Amino acid sequence: MNDKKKCLECGLELMGRVDKKFCSDGCRNAYHNKFDSGSKNLIRNINNRLRRNYKILDSFNLRDGKTRTTKTRLLDKNFDFDYLTNLYTTKKGTTYYFVYDLGYLPLENDYYMIVKRE
Ligand SMILES: [Zn+2]
């Protein structure tokens, strides 16, 4: 057999049970610890981007819960349009993009309306 299974952590050939993935408990733990810290880093990075986006939206002075700005201004502040917490679509089909309770609505000509949810 050429396709001998190997330990996912150290690459050692595995003997015995066909459903084994690791040569030892040590390798199993090392592998899972690595995986856990990887996903924790991912979550931390995304949380940081969301927090930064939120601070940027929060840096605008809203009047009656809204204000207008431009895409350039948002990008200058390092706003990342890929990171949102939720969408809100009105009955008329207008979609607002929210980071927690602060959101934006793309307008014409790269203008944006920034809003705070009541
Ligand atoms: Zn191993």
pTM for this predicted structure: 0.71
Question: What would the pLDDT profile of 68-84 be if each residue is shown by its tens digit?
Answer: 999 999 999 999 999 99
Q: Which two tokens stand for residue 1?
A: 């057999």
Q: How far is the CA of 8 from the centre of ligand 1 (A)?
A: 7
Q: How far is the CA of 101 from the centre of ligand 1 (A)?
A: 47
Among the listed residues 96, 105, 99, 106, the one whose alpha carbon sits nearest the alpha carbon of residue 54: 99
Confidence tier at 109 by pLDDT (50, 70, 90):
very high
Q: How far is the CA of 40 from the centre of ligand 1 (A)?
A: 23
Confidence tier at 89 by pLDDT (50, 70, 90):
very high
2 pLDDT higher than 90: no
Q: How far is the CA of 3 from the centre of ligand 1 (A)?
A: 17
In this structure, the dihedral spanned by the alpha carbons of residues 39, 42, 47 and 49, taken in order and rounded to 10 degrees, is -170
Q: How many residues does the chain have?
A: 118
Pairing of strands 66-70, 86-89: unpaired
